[in-house]
Amino acid sequence: MHLGKSVSYLAFTARCALSASLAYLLARKVGLSHPVWAPMSALIVSQERLADTRESLWGRLLGTVLGMASAVLVDALGRSIAAPMAAQIAVTVALCAPLSRRRPALRVSMWTGPIVLLTPAAHTSVVWVALYRGAEVMLGSLVGASLHLVFDGLSLRLLRLVRKERRLG
């Protein structure tokens, strides 16, 4: 296998494993109630190329905020008219779907809304749930993107070092 591809495979594997575990540990450390969303987000954001990871990061962050906002809005309106949960989910998704269709990177908004609506504990407002789920997703996304940046730099340095050693040896 070509040296560059070997380093690339190894770097991808290491940064995905490290991103998932670090995102989980950080989410637990700061007391987020559903730390599962942090490692999932770290892995979803992690792409093969750094430019793709950056694009995925911005879509994930913006889409999460859109999904949070739609859930909070729909919950407030839904509670005022006693709308059933299935109707609230439909409206939340319908608010996000047109943007997601035009910008696929924002599709996270369509499932963030239902997750926010469906995960509140007893006596917890949807606003707080939105903030917690958003924090879990954003923390994981930022960890995944940050480690990609770090590993990208380390991979380039390692390749340069190995190539230099081959020329000298």
Percentage of the chain beyond pLDDT 70 is 93
- Averaged pLDDT for residues 135-156: 90
- Averaged pLDDT for residues 81-103: 97
Q: What is the 3-state secondary structure (H, E, C) of the chain?
A: CCHHHHHHHHHHHHHHHHHHHHHHHHHHHCCCCCCCHHHHHHHHHCCCCHHHHHHHHHHHHHHHHHHHHHHHHHHHHHHHHCCCHHHHHHHHHHHHHHHHHHCHHHCHHHHHHHHHHHCCCCCCCHHHHHHHHHHHHHHHHHHHHHHHHHHHHHHHHHHHHHHHHHHHC
Of 103 and 3, more confident: 103
How far apart are the C-alpha atoms of 40 and 25, rounded to whole Å?
Answer: 13
Task: Using the predicted structure, report yes or no on whether residue 143 has a pLDDT greater than 90.
Answer: yes
Domain total of the chain? 1
- What's the domain range around 52? 3-168
